[in-house]
Structure 1
């Protein structure tokens, strides 16, 4: 897929992976619109990259989604929708009664899963009308193997991964030109993972892999440790689970 000249909308574009994506897509000759909940972060991004178009919008909020769609229509529409926005909650042991578990699950599912479907539903006809268009959904290494420390987050990403594959197949059946890409990052060095001591890749490395995959029409883009874990999980699922969940995590959940 050719990126140059395309207009891309990136959710969660004010920092981290989203901001790095905006930077690299601009460098590829794309027109970039970013959204996010934090106006200060959006304005800071605009100062870094003046050609950015910024729109404050929360993917969790249905009214914001509709207002975003209307604004994008007034700007001439988009060719690529990049569902990058995502959230995670602190670790909780599912085996112990805790009302916070349900609250976390609703919060993560509303943004990581339902928020993606909401925007896809709004923009799908616009994208189908384009000569060449795409949807990019960011899932996770945890969509393959769940993490004890991130149980409901893992579940949201697994749900999104299945949805992404079926969306791609549905569009193929309809003979649509809309391409559906799934990006599966390992742990990425962002604000969200700042407290974690795991091996991490940089947002720059991740986005480079994403852009390479898009250009090659590689619909499933696994980066870093995600490549190896994919193979291990297929043939040695228990080993894969133990790699994601070392014994030291067990003790932390018992505290």
Structure 2
């Protein structure tokens, strides 16, 4: 896939992985639109990269998504939709006695999974009208094997993975030219990953792999430890589970 001259929308693009993606897509000659819920972070991103178009929007809100679509349509549309926005709650969201348990789980599912479907549905006809277009859905290493510290996050990413595979096959069956990519990061050094143990990679390494995959039309892009966990989960699922849920985890759950 040729990225030069493409217009890409990156949800959750004001920090972390999304901001690094904006930087590297600009370097590839793409026009970048980012969204986020924090206006201050959007302003900071715009200051760093003045060519960015920054729009405040909530990926989990249907009303906000429709408003976003209308604004982007007025701007001339997009060629690539990168569903990067995500949220994770840690051990404070685990106990069934926690009155916030269901509320936080609902936010994770709405943002990480249903928000992806919402935006894909809204932008699909626009993407179909383009000569070369794509959707990028971000799942996770945890879509293969869950981490006990973040169960709903893991479940939301497993849902994204299955949905992405089905969407790709569906578009192929109806002979649509829209390409569907899946990015499967391992643990990445971002604010969202603070407090999580394990080997991590930097955002630039992850986005380098994403861009390489897009250019080579590699539709499933497994990065870093995700490759190993994918293979282990196929042949030695219990070992894969133990690697992502090492001894001492129960103490963390109790602390």
TM-score (normalizing by structure 2): 0.97
Offset from partner CA, 1:200-242 (integer Å, 9 cap, x none)? 1000000000000000100000000000111111000000000
* Alignment partners' CA distance in 1, 2:247 and 2:191: 25
Report the counterpart of residue 197 of structure 1 in structure 2.
Answer: 197
- Provide the secondary structure at the position in 1 that maps to 2:248: helix
1:9 is matched with 9
Between the two proteins, the alignment pairs up a number of residues equal to 255
2:249 — aligned with what?
249
Partners of 1:238 and 1:194 in 2: CA distance: 26
Is 1:32 the counterpart of 2:28? The answer is no
Query: Any gaps of 5 or more consecutive residues in structure 2?
Result: none
* Distance (whole Å) between structure 2 residues aligned to residue 155 and residue 29 of structure 1: 35
How far apart are 1:75 and its partner, in Å? 0.6
Q: Which residue of 2 aligns with 1:58?
A: 58
Three-state SS of the structure 2 residue aligned to 1:87 is: coil
CA separation of 1:94/1:46 partners in 2, compared to 1, >3 Å: closer, same or farther? closer
Q: Secondary structure at the match of 1:221?
A: strand
Distance 1:248 1:56 in 2: 40
- Which position in structure 1 is the counterpart of 2:125? 125
Counterpart residue number, 2:136:
136
Name stretches of at least 5 consecutive residues in structure 1 with no aligned partner: none
Contact 1:92 1:149 in 2 (8 A): no
1:106 corresponds to: 106
Distance 2:164 2:218 in 1: 14
Give the conservation status (yes or no) of the 8 Å contact 2:95–2:101.
Answer: no
Q: 1:99 Cα deviation (Å)?
A: 3.2
C-alpha deviation, 1:95, in angstroms: 6.8
CA distance in 1, matches of 2:95, 2:240: 22
Secondary structure, aligned partner of 1:183: strand
Q: CA deviation at 1:92?
A: 5.0
SS in 1 for 2:100: helix
Contact in 2 for aligned 1:93/1:253 (Cα 8 Å): no
1:96 CA drift (Å): 4.5
Report the counterpart of residue 47 of structure 1 in structure 2.
47
| 1:101 Cα offset (Å) | 2.2
* Alpha-carbon distance between aligned partners in 2 of 1:4 and 1:67, rounded to the nearest angstrom: 27
What displacement does 1:91 show? 1.5
Residue number in structure 2 paired with 1:206: 206
Report the Cα offset of residue 253 of structure 1.
1.5
Structure 2 CA distance for aligned equivalents of residues 148 and 20 of structure 1: 28
How much is the aligned-residue C-alpha RMSD, in angstroms? Answer: 1.2
- CA offsets per residue over residues 78-113 of structure 1, 9 Å max, x none? 000000000000225857543332112101001001
